[in-house]
């Protein structure tokens, strides 16, 4: 294959993915047919089969493309966030809900477990969320360990989008997304520990966050301290 042919293939692939993404966003999954996409992209149907294999391969490529674009924008936003990590997380939550409701068909594809588990962009999105949660933990405002916080926020966000997207736009509760965030935030975050156990848990979570970067410790010492912290947090959760 010549350089010119490779460049041409890349160009047609981009046109196909963008055309399919536009059809998906505007008309839903059923509109993404080989015929419709080939017409919208200005290519022959065999080009789609050659580059993507079948319709499922094309849908996978579209989902990955849109998700990667969205995650890149989230990463840029995260790099310029302010002094209140919880407020920044709330703004990211709102943006996530808005993205899902603006792209309901695509969002359903992105949250399909079969696709999500093999999506690099989805994995990157989780890491962006994890970085935001880590900022909350480093500020001493996280009640639970990072993994649980990430899992709860991710699950609550996906559930909120799917619940709202399943309703006619005019019948949606406009306050549901905000209420869901406040419910999750009340469980995960704190501004001032209310009890001695809560204070201990907050300190333990914060220390676990900074532990990997502490100087002067061996790997074995870090592992032992991490085990102690994990055991203490498990005890506090059980006792509570």
The per-residue pLDDT for range 119-167, each reduced to its tens digit, is 777 888 889 899 999 999 888 899 888 999 999 999 999 999 999 999 9
pLDDT of residue 136: 92
Under the banding of pLDDT at 50, 70 and 90, the label for residue 182 is very high
pLDDT of residue 200: 66
Residue 4 pLDDT greater than 50, yes or no: no
Say how many CA atoms lie within 13 Å of 162 toward its Cβ: 12
pLDDT > 70: what percent of the chain? 87
Return the CATH number of 62-191, one of 1.10.357.10, 3.30.540.10, 2.60.40.790, 3.40.50.10240: 1.10.357.10
Where do the domains of the chain lie?
Answer: 1-53, 62-191, 193-240
Domains 1-53 and 62-191 share a fold: no
pTM above 0.85, yes or no: no
Residue length of the chain: 240
Q: Whole-number mean pLDDT of the chain?
A: 83
CB atoms within 10 A of CB 89: 24
For the stretch 22-47, pLDDT in tens is 888 888 778 888 899 999 999 998 99
pLDDT of residue 194: 42
For domain 1-53, the CATH class is mainly alpha
CB atoms within 10 A of CB 198: 15
Is residue 28 within 8 A of residue 109, CB to CB? The reply is no
């Amino acid at each position: 294959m010549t350089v010119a042919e490779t460049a041409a293939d890349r160009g047609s692939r981009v046109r196909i993915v963008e055309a399919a993404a536009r059809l998906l966003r505007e008309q839903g999954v059923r509109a993404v047919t080989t015929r419709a996409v080939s017409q919208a992209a200005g290519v022959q149907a065999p080009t789609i089969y050659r580059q993507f294999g079948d319709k499922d391969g094309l849908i996978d490529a579209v989902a990955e493309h849109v998700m990667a674009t969205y995650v890149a924008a989230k990463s840029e936003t995260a790099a310029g966030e302010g002094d209140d990590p919880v407020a920044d997380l709330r703004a990211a939550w709102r943006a996530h809900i808005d993205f899902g409701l603006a792209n309901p068909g695509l969002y359903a594809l992105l949250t399909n477990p079969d696709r999500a588990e093999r999506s690099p962009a989805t994995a990157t999105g989780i890491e962006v969320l994890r970085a935001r949660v880590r900022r909350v933990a480093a500020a001493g405002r996280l009640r639970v360990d990072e993994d649980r916080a990430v899992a709860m926020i991710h699950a609550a966000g996906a559930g909120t989008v799917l619940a709202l997207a399943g309703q006619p736009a005019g019948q949606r509760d406009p306050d549901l997304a905000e209420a869901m965030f406040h419910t999750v935030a009340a469980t995960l975050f704190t501004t001032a520990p209310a009890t001695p156990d809560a204070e201990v848990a907050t300190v333990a979570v914060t220390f676990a966050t900074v532990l990997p970067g502490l100087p002067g410790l061996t790997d074995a010492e870090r592992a032992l301290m991490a085990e102690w912290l994990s055991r203490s947090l498990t005890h506090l959760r059980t006792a509570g």
